Structure 1
Amino acid sequence: MKIAVTGSEGFIGRLLTKRLDALGHETIRVDLLHGDDILDLGKLTLLPEFDLAIHLASRLMVPESYSIPHAYYTTNVLGTLNILELCRLRGAKMIFFSSYLYGTPEYQPIDELHPLSPFNPYAQSKILGEELCNAYNRDFGVPVTIFRPFNIYGPGQHPHFLIPNIISQCLTGQVMLKDPRPRRDFIYVDDVVDACIAALSYSGPGVDIFNLGYGKSSSIPDIIHSLQIILDKEIDVHFSHETRENEVLDTICDIRKASALLGWNPKTNLEEGLRKIIASAKNQ
């Protein structure tokens, strides 16, 4: 299969393109590092033909989305529109990555029918992207699979994210963190890539949505406890108890739909994933 991957040099994209290459697919890498711009539709139309676009390229930092909302809406909405238009022109399918849509859970675990409650510009930009996916399917028949991963982690993730930030502090000295209360459903990046591979042969309805997670939530103290076991040392942790506005205190992903329809299940628990990150950091 000929597959275009936007954000091919990013955290997920690097691993995904390697897996696709290993499976014998023809991968078209689309990334700013290659001079590509998802906001330039004219330039995108010069890309080689493809059967499927996996759209990973986006702005990702929730706090930053308050500082530069226009950039987030432009990249995450117009960029998604351009990839959908390219799929329409090519008669191709699309896999779209969304996240952070559910807000404070009304029930747990959170399934795909849970009401959406965006409470920051990043989340709103992703909801608008999903609405465009539905519109392009309704009006032009573009098939779209939407993934809503919960908290992805793994080697090579940007240090501003929670787990790489904690690990970096653990390896270099005292750990200074904010609020110990929130619990998150952490999913290892390889498991997310596995879901993408499973979706390559999926032919469900015009637009289908899958939550991706491990199915269990963990707290910062849980992460610290696992790191103490892995590193075989006591970790000195200080919490400022600073809280974020609209902080969600617990999220658990319902993975039953992805398991039933894609035959996908996560393989990597939190401690195993943390071990892999530390091993990767020590090998660099």
Structure 2
Amino acid sequence: MSVLVTGGAGFIGSHITEALLQRGHEVVVLDNLDPYYDVDIKRQNIERCREIETGRFEFVEGSITDERLVEEVFSTYDVEFVYHEAARAGVRTSVEQPLFYERNNVGGLLTLLEAATDHGVERFVNASSSSVYGRPDYLPYDEAHPNYPKSPYGTTKLAAEHYCKVWQSVHGLPTVSLRYFTVYGPRMRPNMAISNFVSRGLNGEPPVIYGDGEQTRDFTYIDDVVAANLRLLETDAADGEVLNIGSTDNITITELADHVISQVDSELEPIYEAEQQADARHTHADVSKARDLIGYAPSTDIREGVGEFIEWYRQNREWYEPLVVSS
């Protein structure tokens, strides 16, 4: 199958791309190498994909907002399936640049939906986010929970979900939106809590916690996210749906910091700073809908996953750590 992965040079997109190539698919990645974080990580991801001998890999540098380029990609590579992972991430910076987020996360999506419709794509999988929930009326969140996004980023992700449903209803394009809950693992974005805690701990510096540390997060290991995405190659059971993709577990930020400290053999004490604007207070996923429709079964809890990430970090410290520190 010919598969387009937008944002395929990024963290989640590159893992999906690798998995597709290992299964023999033809994969074209469209990515603009946005310097939101150090692009050397993205270039490393691209090179890893080039080295996979199964499947066929093509990389196109450019933006999903470029209508001419998007049309050219769909035509040239005869795209049959789309994993849309490209977006400007970051709830905090979206507060400062709302129009930029709207143009990329909503405008870019619409460009892709139009091209996918024109070219008869089999299925369009949209990467959404737990940021659409905002604040809890109850926990864990199920997909019927009301949406109260606290940031322009979360708002753009919610708008994208609605557009996907409209496109399926009006144009017959099968779409699925996956609401990711704080994904982590090897090659993760460097400006995230886990990567920062690990980097600081290994360098004898205390973790920095924003707020009181009692915030909770449902951290989802990258392998579980990839498994959910690949399942959508095999089934139409989720067409037209929105699904939570989380771990079913959660942990306070202070507990996470303490666990990282214990894993890196440190006796450091966390530092607490002012809470950041637009951050959600709690996230916790009910994944029963994804389990029922696509057989989703998360396999890695946060404590096990952090251990695996720390081991990967130690092995890749020479090239990865400077990029974490610089962010």
Which bracket does the TM-score occupy, shorter chain normalised? over 0.9
Structure 1 residue 159, shift from structure 2 partner: 2.0
Distance 1:141 1:105 in 2: 33
Equivalent residue, structure 1, for 2:262: 229
Instruction: Say yes or no: does 1:96 pair with 2:129.
Output: no
Calculate the TM-score normalised by the size of structure 2.
Answer: 0.83
Instruction: Determine if contact 1:3/1:53 at 8 Å carries over to the other structure.
Output: yes
Structure 1 residue 247, shift from structure 2 partner: 4.8
Instruction: Say yes or no: does 1:60 pair with 2:89.
Output: yes
Kindly provide the CA deviation profile for residues 199-236 of structure 1, in whole angstroms up to 9, marking residues without a partner as x: 11121364111101111110122212322332233223
Of 190, 199, 213, 1:159 maps to: 190
How well do the aligned residues superpose, as a CA RMSD in angstroms? Answer: 1.5
- Counterpart residue type for residue 155 of structure 2: Q
Distance 1:250 1:30 in 2: 33
Instruction: Say yes or no: does 1:283 pair with 2:315.
Output: yes
Distance 1:22 1:258 in 2: 24
Map 1:96-135; keep pairs closer than 5 Å.
Answer: 96-99=126-129, 100-135=131-166
Of 199, 202, 207, 2:232 maps to: 199
Deviates more, 1:268-277 or 1:55-64: 268-277
Instruction: Determine if contact 2:249/2:301 at 8 Å carries over to the other structure.
Output: no
Of 44, 58, 74, 2:103 maps to: 74
Instruction: Determine if contact 2:249/2:302 at 8 Å carries over to the other structure.
Output: no
- Counterpart residue type for residue 136 of structure 1: W
- Counterpart residue type for residue 154 of structure 1: G
- Counterpart residue type for residue 106 of structure 2: V
Map 1:231-270; keep pairs closer than 5 Å.
Answer: 231-240=264-273, 242-245=274-277, 247-270=279-302
Give ranges in structure 1 of 5+ residues lacking alignment. Answer: none
Equivalent residue, structure 1, for 2:42: none
Distance 2:164 2:156 in 1: 13
Deviates more, 1:127-136 or 1:224-233: 224-233
Give ranges in structure 2 of 5+ residues lacking alignment. Answer: 34-59, 317-327
Distance 1:14 1:35 in 2: 14
Instruction: Determine if contact 2:92/2:278 at 8 Å carries over to the other structure.
Output: no
Residue 207 of structure 1 aligns to a residue whose secondary structure is: coil
Equivalent residue, structure 1, for 2:70: 44
Identity within the alignment, %: 31
Equivalent residue, structure 2, for 1:13: 13
Structure 1 residue 72, shift from structure 2 partner: 0.4
Equivalent residue, structure 2, for 1:213: 246
Which 4+ stretches in 1 moved above 6 angstroms?
none
Residue 74 of structure 1 aligns to a residue whose secondary structure is: helix
Instruction: Determine if contact 2:7/2:84 at 8 Å carries over to the other structure.
Output: yes
Calculate the TM-score normalised by the size of structure 1.
Answer: 0.95
